[in-house]
Amino acid sequence: MSILILYTGGTIGMTVSESGLAPSSSLVEKLHTIFPSGIANTPEYSVQTLDPLIDSANLDTTHWQRIVAAIQQHWDAYNSFIILHGTDTMAYTASLLSYVFANSCKNIILTGSQLPLGAERSDAPCNLALALSLANGIPLGQVAIAFGNQVLQGNRATKISSQAFAGFDSPNTPPLVTNQITPHYRVNGLTGCQPCKEPAELHFQPEAVALLWLTPSLSQASYGGFLHDSKCKALVLVSFGAGNIASENQSFCQFLADAKDKGLVVVNVSQCQHGGTSTGAYAAGSVLTQLGVLDGKDMTVEAAFTKLHYLLALDHSPKEIRTHWQTCRAEEWSE
């Protein structure tokens, strides 16, 4: 059984440059030295490098297009895929891939590290070993993130630390796998995995999805421009607590009404890592339903943002997006 490792960039393969750490192609040689393919306990694998490499803070929809295309191109030749990715936007890419390859019978695992491979005390070898050991194991039924001795459901994960080796967590669902002396598995919890159908052709739209994090005394300048931006087709509203907004802010409520009339799709998720929204629990939140705002339940910001991008990439109309949003495609929220 063979694995394709797709190296997209990130800290794991960075080396020191004049301006600081920067992506480097030298990772491939280090990888084969530390994990010789097909020898001892290391499964057979091949490596493909995305060119040019990405510093994940610079990730955009064109990179998603290239990553998806690389997986599709090699789908029949490999049993599983490991994506080496920068940590800053790893949860975004994992979420996006979870919709594209929903319920796949092949494992797609993202990993990276907080310190470069080869650096003193680097977490890269442990994360890579975990990803390799699971890549050809039982089907996870989910695109996953292997990091810090845990395998997390990709579209429920979020980066929680820029310093700790346990840099990711999935606050609203347990890990798929906890790496310990006797590994603990939680897989195929809801829908299980199926043979992957040929993914639909995707046409990603750069700058089509915006995000608005609510604050007290929110300035109209923070949101007014969305209505006049022809590229903006959808908005993730990151609201207070259980999904509440300042319902007495007439200007903001009018903005949401105008957004609905314009066909701008608005989705509401909570600023809280745990719990998600409770639509209708408070008067300050129930107004959102009246204004046509979609419920993001306990989704992460990353999962909501990328689901909108995915639906837009399928060339859906606003009405179709509203309909398809209601379907939990890849266990992206708790049911």
Query: Which residue among 8, 11, 89, 306 is the active-site one?
Result: 11
Domain with CATH 3.40.50.1170 in the chain: 3-185
- How many whole angstroms separate alpha carbon 315 and alpha carbon 335? 27
- How many whole angstroms separate alpha carbon 5 and alpha carbon 303? 24
Question: Integer distance in angstroms from the first to the last C-alpha of the chain?
Answer: 34
CB 82 within 8 A of CB 135: yes
Q: What is the pLDDT of residue 196?
A: 59
- How many whole angstroms separate alpha carbon 86 and alpha carbon 115? 11
| pLDDT over 70 at 85, yes or no | yes
User: Using one digit for the tens of pLDDT, what is the confidence trace for 285-326?
Assistant: 678 999 999 999 999 999 999 999 999 999 999 999 999 999
Model confidence band, residue 189 (pLDDT cutoffs 50, 70, 90) = very low
323 catalytically annotated:
no
User: Using one digit for the tens of pLDDT, what is the confidence trace for 124-142?
Assistant: 999 999 999 989 787 888 8
- How many whole angstroms separate alpha carbon 113 and alpha carbon 35? 16
Domain with CATH 3.40.50.40 in the chain: 209-325
Diameter of the chain measured on Cα atoms = 66
Q: What is the pLDDT of residue 181?
A: 56
Q: If you ran DSSP here, which 8-state letter would residue 223 be given?
A: T
- How many whole angstroms separate alpha carbon 303 and alpha carbon 144? 13
Q: Which residues contact 89 (CB under 8 A, 6 or more apart)?
A: 56, 57, 59
State how far the alpha carbon of 140 is from the alpha carbons of 101, 222, 292, 332, in Å.
12, 41, 35, 15
| Statement: 209-325 belongs to CATH 3.40.250.10 | no
Model confidence band, residue 281 (pLDDT cutoffs 50, 70, 90) = low
Binding residues: 56, 87-88
| pLDDT over 80 at 160, yes or no | yes
CA 233 to chain centre: 20
Say if pTM beats, i.e. exceeds, 0.95: no
| pLDDT over 60 at 100, yes or no | yes
Residue 12 backbone dihedrals phi, psi, to 5 degrees = -55, -30
User: What are the strands, taking DSSP E only, across the chain?
Assistant: 3-9, 14-17, 20-23, 45-54, 80-84, 107-111, 144-147, 150-153, 158-159, 168-169, 177-178, 184-185, 209-213, 234-239, 265-270, 294-295
CATH T-level assignment (fold) for domain 3-185: Rossmann fold (3.40.50)
pLDDT cut 90: percent of the chain above it = 76
Region 216-243: mean pLDDT is 96
Region 73-79: mean pLDDT is 93
Please state, rounded to an integer, the average pLDDT across all residues of the chain: 91
